[in-house]
Chain A
Amino acid sequence: MRVVSAILEDFRNLSVRVDLACGINVFVGRNGQGKTNFLEALFVACMGRSFRPGRLADLVRFSAPGATVELGVEERGIVTPVRVSIAGSQRRHRVGGRDNCSLSEVAQMIRAVFFGPDDLDLVKGSPSGRRSFLDEAIRVHHPPYERLLMGYQRLLRDRNQLLRDFGSGRHPPEELLASYEGELARWGGQIVSHRSRYLRDYSPMAVELVARHTGGQLTLELAHECTAGPCGGAIEVGDAQEMLLGRLRDLRGEDIRSGSTTVGPHLDDLRLDVNGRAARLFASQGEQRQVAVSMKLAQLALWRQKFGVTPLLLLDDVLSELDSTRIRLLLDAIAGWQVQAVLTTTAPPDVVWKDDDACFRVKEGGICRVDFDKVADEA
């Protein structure tokens, strides 16, 4: 599966046609010219939503009635048009001749993985970012996981309300709190088990890629930090539920005093150590970025292994803090997987490009293909 062409109409500041190469496509331009908008258009066409916050209507060029993005998706020599149109807050997908396709139908055809500067938070940010990283990946493998998360959040708010009721002197029956703890453990245990099983598959991949992309200079270790109890390796649903239920009971008194639930998957973390020390505190900015990129790529590798579909890789301004050796290692890895990638940069890195790669210059909403050696002169 690869994207051979993209036609954008009134998508933010872009109305262009671009023919993409099957290797690495590099989009070069100064800030504010439309590089990220182009990545966003590809992402919206594949995933039905943007990676930026905001409303769908924001994607439409000011004063235009609607925006469209049409991708030519090639599979075994056959090109199928995948088209998304946005009008107001409405999004419609057409795949081939079939209108009003659901996102899961689109996903069978094409997927995209985006990586941007904000993803650096994966390493240096708060645990919630790492939880969403895990949860998003699990959702791809197991869509009903989303409903588990929502159900858990709902029950969590219910238990917290009961805790506060206790604290404020109103006394709901103990049995009621116990019932909600039972339900919370039932849902939460499934989440803990899902995460641990995903990490069992994912961790070796991430460790290997960090080592490979850094030429063995960085060693990553991942650990599922589970507030309910020790959680090394994959944990069965029943065991996770029992463990969580036990902790909820033990902590009930404390939780009543604090008015909130202090154990459960909503507080778990994914600990990342680089060369034996916490990556969040001790790794340099460049190392953190390297680890974040490799972790994201490991997600993609797992995805590929499991579904046989290679997602389109979208990299927004991720090369800027990597040195040229690491950039080369990263690009080699992408080329080695035969993944189609689109990346943006303000200045093209000085590496040897392959025939499958292409370079484009983005200027004031216009995009044209240029030679790699020429674009450096213009920049």
Chain B
Amino acid sequence: MADILPKPLQRLILVLAKLPGVGSRTAMRYALHLVREGSDRLEELSAALDETRREVSLCPSCFGMSEGGGLCPICASPERRGETLCVVEGIGDMPPIESAAQYAGRYFVLHKLLSPLKGVGPQELHLDRLLDTVRDHGIAEVVLATPLTTDGEATATYLSRLLTQEGVRVTRLAAGVPVGGAIEYLDRLTLSRAFQDRKEL
């Protein structure tokens, strides 16, 4: 279908179609839209891409996103409490935790979860860096905020074994009834977990 289009446009469509949630038809719509909007819009996009490529890298401390090869704003901030560390699976998990405004410590991003079947072992999670961070920065508590899936739970279990040996307090995000949620409509596995993890008032 895209055969009649100029070759560069065809390549652009193929590149766009690799983005999450974008199929070949959406990719073609985006590409044609950009061309129709004219060279200013293309310039804008290409400049933004270029700058991202040059300036954005992983933070050497937490493996979150940082600018200009330095520490990310969270690691660099003196306001952040340095003795707690929150371990998350991906960078996408940080903004929601930030907007919940309950946590004021630092982060560590794994980028992957353990999965022996997919060949992801501890070495793929740069855990040596995690242990270095815990030792060097005098971390007192590590909050494990990996997802509550089998991989996420297994990763949390492994990390807690590893970190407990370091003499650091290890906690796991609570699982249970969502705030504003009616018990009646709660799925039963979550509900049974909520009962297991109930707490004294």
| A interface residue numbers (CB < 8 A to B) | 142-144, 147-148, 151, 154-155, 157-159, 161-162, 165, 172-173, 175-176, 178-180, 182-183, 187
A159 to B150, CA, bound (A): 12
B26 at the A interface (CB under 8 A):
no
A/B interface sample: 14 pairs, CB < 8 A: A144-B188, A147-B189, A158-B117, A172-B121, A175-B158, A176-B116, A176-B122, A178-B161, A179-B114, A179-B154, A179-B158, A183-B150, A183-B157, A187-B150
B52 at the A interface (CB under 8 A):
no
Contact A183 B153 (CB under 8 A): yes
A151 to B150, CA, bound (A): 6
Q: A144's contact among B115, B122, B150, B192, by CB below 8 Å, is which? A: B192
Q: Interface code B143-174, partner A: CB below 8 Å = 1, 0 otherwise? A: 00000001001100110011000000000000
Contact B117 A172 (CB under 8 A): no
Contact B161 A144 (CB under 8 A): no
Nearest CB of chain A from residue B151's CB, rounded to whole Å:
8
B44 at the A interface (CB under 8 A):
no
A161 to B119, CA, bound (A): 9
**Known A158-B117, A161-B117; contact A183-B154, beta-carbon cutoff 8 A:** yes
B187 at the A interface (CB under 8 A):
yes
* Residues on the A chain within 8 Å of B187, using CB: 144
Nearest CB of chain A from residue B49's CB, rounded to whole Å:
38
Known A173-B122, A183-B150; further 18 A-B contacts with Cβ < 8 A: A142-B188, A147-B189, A148-B189, A154-B150, A157-B117, A158-B150, A158-B154, A161-B116, A162-B116, A175-B161, A176-B114, A176-B122, A178-B161, A179-B158, A180-B116, A182-B157, A183-B154, A187-B150
Q: Taking CB as reference atom, which chain B residue is nearest A163?
A: B116
* Residues on the B chain within 8 Å of A148, using CB: 189
Nearest CB of chain B from residue A86's CB, rounded to whole Å:
28
A187 to B117, CA, bound (A): 18
**Known A151-B150, A179-B157; contact A143-B116, beta-carbon cutoff 8 A:** no
* Residues on the B chain within 8 Å of A172, using CB: 116, 121-122
Nearest CB of chain A from residue B13's CB, rounded to whole Å:
31
Contact A165 B116 (CB under 8 A): yes
Q: Taking CB as reference atom, which chain B residue is nearest A153?
A: B150
Nearest CB of chain A from residue B57's CB, rounded to whole Å:
29
Contact A176 B121 (CB under 8 A): yes
A159 to B188, CA, bound (A): 27
Q: Taking CB as reference atom, which chain B residue is nearest A158?
A: B116
A183 to B154, CA, bound (A): 6
Q: Taking CB as reference atom, which chain B residue is nearest A152?
A: B150
**Known A144-B187, A155-B154, A172-B121; contact A179-B161, beta-carbon cutoff 8 A:** yes
A332 to B188, CA, bound (A): 38
A147 to B115, CA, bound (A): 18
A191 to B57, CA, bound (A): 45
**Known A157-B117, A158-B116; contact A176-B192, beta-carbon cutoff 8 A:** no
A143 to B161, CA, bound (A): 32
* Residues on the A chain within 8 Å of B157, using CB: 179, 182-183
Nearest CB of chain B from residue A164's CB, rounded to whole Å:
9
A147 to B192, CA, bound (A): 13
A108 to B192, CA, bound (A): 22
A251 to B128, CA, bound (A): 30
Q: Taking CB as reference atom, which chain B residue is nearest A174?
A: B161
Q: Interface code B166-196, partner A: CB below 8 Å = 1, 0 otherwise? A: 0000000000000000000001110010000
Q: Taking CB as reference atom, which chain A residue is nearest B114?
A: A176
Q: B150's contact among A155, A162, A173, by CB below 8 Å, is which? A: A155
Nearest CB of chain A from residue B155's CB, rounded to whole Å:
8
Q: Quick one: which of B122, B157, B192 has the most chain A CB within 10 A?
A: B157
